[in-house]
Structure 1
């Protein structure tokens, strides 16, 4: 849609309010609502003077905080009824952020959507027209999460701290003989064990009917206690990032309406599998998939595609600061839970960081790579931008990823890993941030040094707070030391 079509639709559909969406530097969704009668053509020309940027983490200081929200009419969608218990009809529009004016040069450098847009423009320098992206979004839906009593309990007389998770599917719940799913046994169960099939289908229906997001599949994932996965049909860069934000928000909203809680936290359950966001990607020039080479007997992967893989693998440690941006992310990236810990690629090999799917040969349309490292706490705009820039750096510098690994990487000896030149991913958020500080040149032209400095500073603070907070496990382990 363009602005005129949006305004006409608002009138025809009797939309009461418009929600203007944008994300902060960590991908957290923010919203300001305006009644439809307050929106006119000027709103799409000069933007909305509605943002105090000093109140958004990582944005601006209080003495220089006025910013403009510029609605993107192409992102206009009518929202499902779950968004308004008052039965009003609402719509949403994503906004780009501008600083001082609405000229292209004034686009705010800490606007995640703007960073993804800027990265997509790099494709022309390499003779490409667009990229396609297809993330697999995993998450948990619990009946409740109880955190008690406070993260400060260690220094106050509150009697300790901890958390509990309640789910009809958990093996520790009472009276759930017909719905209990054991640890690591949640892959593709049928009803009645799968208590969330209807929930997922409700989400998928709304995603398609309201947001126009096409779904490839939905299913229960490996972990117990309501681990779900929704796979999105591929789309171009900005559209897909908008889709992911919409999916995550809708899942949370619909869970809340059903008195449940959805979380995209990677590893909420000790000893069980965690949530990932495997990200499929391909490069295109018009209708030609640049990653496809029918004459390559091994993988039907072009040399350009191999260089792209080489770029991602060479920057994998630094990318973790964006693809796995929380302290909890590194409780997922450990051996034994189907998560990648080694920097290598393989053909149909789910133990490698990059997998080239090999379901059928001679399928140009579906030739792609799957980056298995990211988790759903990643800011999808930054993730897509960073992966694209790493891959393009590989093409520019002809970075050879070596031969694909055919063996189960989890079972390789240290000697074999050295022989195959397989590196390891960082084991903590601090390690990832340290890698980013020493390997950020491939990002700086798009992300800017200012953005990376602010992002890293805030994430280092997050790590320090985590590192300095005693946990229940530590108290039980070391109290009698």
Structure 2
């Protein structure tokens, strides 16, 4: 199926031509969760693209607005019109558009400050003063697909009628399965062949739909290192907003297609103790028209420009506070531990996967492919806020000429504390609370795109998550301490 970029009247023509029954209007909250409202196609006219829909009760969306300031407008972006795959509705033909969110009217001055797409657009405008015409982003989206997850939740422990709390994971690939032909041991899931890779067909189905229906190009798909269906889809690089929309679409279709096959997909970073967790590495490059500003052919170390080094300096300088956005759950910090291919230390390296920032060395002298890979984020992050935070941190590094120091060549996991001090390597936060505290003291670099009320609402909710987590006894604690 050929995907066309449409505007205004073209969308209405496409709806009639393709006999679309319903239009779904998508938007995300400040935590990146996708929301949708649908309308029959006969209820859509050209005024929808100028006036929007008075259909949003913002007080019912977590982190959006209070009940006394809840009326908001959803204005569809016609360029994001796409026909949805049959897995979304097998009885009728549907399409979707992403929406921008407004207060009172659809003048730009009325744009809702907690609209994630607005944050990306505002951040991208800051590139102009640096001679940057656009940026490219290439995310690696990792996730697990299980046969089932059974959760036994209870905030009251064993006194509750549910009989306590805990969870179990079932997967044909799990080492605890009895099916030896598909079992993958802990940390042995990288690039297995069939039949052990039971997710191969599902991943290909997902990638086909991403391209055929959404026009989202995929560079590669494969099984990841962990057992139990850990997968990765590498999206082809694109500009900021299309990339963020693509990641949101990818996460949704992964869940929808998994559900259709009676499986459950999760972007939770670390669901399995002792195994690798899911990341979302972000590749970034800066451009002036056709010139890659990160590339410098005369640089002997990594063909990296001075602007690129300053950009890295900004990312490293703000890495701790960015963690509140890039790693936004209590579970995120169970991934950021040594020896699981996840970064723990704030430094950069050339082809070094133990560093927070890696300069890929494939095709090193090829200017078009020169990029900076930020390895800290995981897929629970709001991709819109993440892109904006990374860009603004990097631009702050360019503005302030922050030197990132020399690249670290060693396996950083093996360095002693004294060696790390000598290299000037500090550690990333070890908990969500530490990250939020860092964001509270280091957020001025975000001010051009992140409103104070957005950051306040975001941090308030995340601090609450941490408090509940820290006060809730776990099954591990009960088994460890109950007989004391």
> Aligned to 1:328, what secondary structure does the other structure show?
helix
Match for residue 446 of structure 2?
Answer: 443
Decide whether the 8 Å contact of 2:311 with 2:397 is kept in 1: yes
Alpha-carbon deviation of 1:85? 2.7
1:148 aligns with 2:152: yes
Q: 1:21 aligns with which of 26, 38, 51?
A: 26
Match for residue 185 of structure 1?
Answer: 188
Q: 1:81 aligns with which of 86, 111, 123?
A: 86
State the distance in 2 between where 1:425 and 1:71 align: 39
Q: 2:121 aligns with which of 109, 117, 124?
A: 117
Match for residue 59 of structure 1?
Answer: 64
The normalised TM-score by structure 1 is: 0.99
RMSD: 0.8
State the distance in 1 between where 2:274 and 2:202 align: 26
Listed as ranges, the gaps of 5+ residues in structure 1 are none
1:218 aligns with 2:221: yes
Deviations 1:174-208 (A, max 9, x none): 2x110000000000000000001000000000000
Q: 2:432 aligns with which of 425, 429, 432?
A: 429
Q: 1:403 aligns with which of 396, 401, 406?
A: 406
Where has structure 1 moved over 6 Å in runs of 4 or more?
Answer: none
Alpha-carbon deviation of 1:64? 1.6
Decide whether the 8 Å contact of 1:417 with 1:423 is kept in 2: yes
1:359 aligns with 2:362: yes
Match for residue 3 of structure 2?
Answer: none
Listed as ranges, the gaps of 5+ residues in structure 2 are 1-5
The normalised TM-score by structure 2 is: 0.98
1:128 aligns with 2:137: no
Deviates more, 1:54-63 or 1:306-315: 54-63
Alpha-carbon deviation of 1:149? 4.5
State the distance in 1 between where 2:159 and 2:46 align: 55
Deviations 1:229-261 (A, max 9, x none): 000000000000000000000000000000000
Alpha-carbon deviation of 1:445? 2.4
Match for residue 397 of structure 2?
Answer: 394
Deviates more, 1:229-238 or 1:355-364: 355-364
State the distance in 2 between where 1:196 and 1:445 align: 42
State the distance in 2 between where 1:168 and 1:218 align: 20
> Aligned to 2:47, what secondary structure does the other structure show?
helix
Q: 1:475 aligns with which of 472, 475, 478?
A: 478
State the distance in 2 between where 1:317 and 1:155 align: 39
> Aligned to 1:235, what secondary structure does the other structure show?
coil
